[in-house]
A and B are shown apart, each in its own frame.
Chain A
Amino acid sequence: MKDKEHILLLLQLVKFNGNINYLLELGYTHIQILNMLNIFNKKGIVINENDTFLLSSEGELYLNRLCKELKKRGLYKYLSPSFKNKIKKISINEIFIPLSFVRKKGLFSLSHENVKIDESSIDKEFPF
Chain B
Amino acid sequence: MNKEVLKLSIDKYYKLANIFKSKEWLIDENNNNSRFNKYYKMLIALDEKEQELILKLSERFLHINQPMYLEELKKPIENLIENNPEVSKYYVLPMISKKDKGNISKSAFQILYLFKGSSLSEFVDLKGCQFQTIANIEKFFLNKECLKKNERILFVDDFMGTGDTAIEALEYFHELAPKIVNENISLMSIVIHNMAIRKLDIDFDLVYKYEIKKGITDFFDGDDLDDSVQLMKNIEKKLKGLRQEFSFGYKQSEALVSMQRIPNNTFPIYWIDKNISPYER
Taking Cβ atoms with an 8 Å cutoff, the residues of A that contact B are 13-14, 17-21, 24, 29-31, 33-34, 37, 48, 51-53
Q: Which residues of A contact B10 (CB under 8 A)?
A: 13-14, 17-18, 20, 37, 53
Given known pairs A30-B27, A30-B36, A31-B27, the reply for A19 and B8 (CB within 8 Å) is yes
15 cross-chain CB contacts under 8 A: A13-B10, A18-B10, A19-B9, A20-B10, A21-B8, A24-B31, A30-B34, A31-B27, A31-B28, A34-B27, A37-B10, A37-B14, A37-B17, A52-B11, A53-B14
How distant is A78 from chain B, measured CB to nearest CB, in Å?
15
Q: Give CA–CA (A52, B15) in the complex, Å.
A: 9
Nearest chain A residue, comparing its CB with the CB of B6: A21
Interface residues on B, range: 20 to 34
A19 with B11, Cβ < 8 A, contacts A29-B31, A30-B31, A30-B37 known: no
Which 8 interchain pairs have the tightest Cβ spacing?
A: A20-B13, A19-B7, A17-B9, A53-B11, A53-B10, A34-B17, A29-B31, A20-B8
B-side residues, CB < 8 A to A, are: 6-11, 13-15, 17, 27-31, 34, 36-37, 40, 44
Tell me the bound Cα distance from A52 to B27 in angstroms: 21
- Cα-based distance from A37 to B12 in the complex (angstroms): 13
B17–A29 CB distance below 8 A: no
Across-interface contacts of B14 in A (CB, < 8 A)? 34, 37, 48, 53
- CB-CB nearest in chain A for B31: A29
* Interchain CA distance A72-B69 in the complex, whole Å: 56
A110–B198 CA distance with the chains assembled, in angstroms:
80
Least CB distance from B61 to A in Å reads 17
Q: How far is the CA of A31 from the CA of B10 in the complex (A)?
A: 14
Docked Cα-Cα span, A70 to B15, in Å, equals 31
Chain A residues whose CB sits within 8 angstroms of the CB of B13 once the complex forms: 20, 33
Q: How far is the CB of A36 from chain B (nearest CB, A)?
A: 11
A24-B31, A53-B10, A53-B14 known; 14 new pairs, CB 8 Å cut-off, are A17-B10, A19-B9, A21-B7, A29-B30, A30-B17, A30-B27, A30-B34, A30-B36, A30-B37, A34-B14, A34-B17, A37-B10, A48-B14, A51-B15
A5 to B158, CA, bound (A): 50
User: Which residues of chain B come closer than 8 Å to A19, judged between CB atoms?
Assistant: 6-9
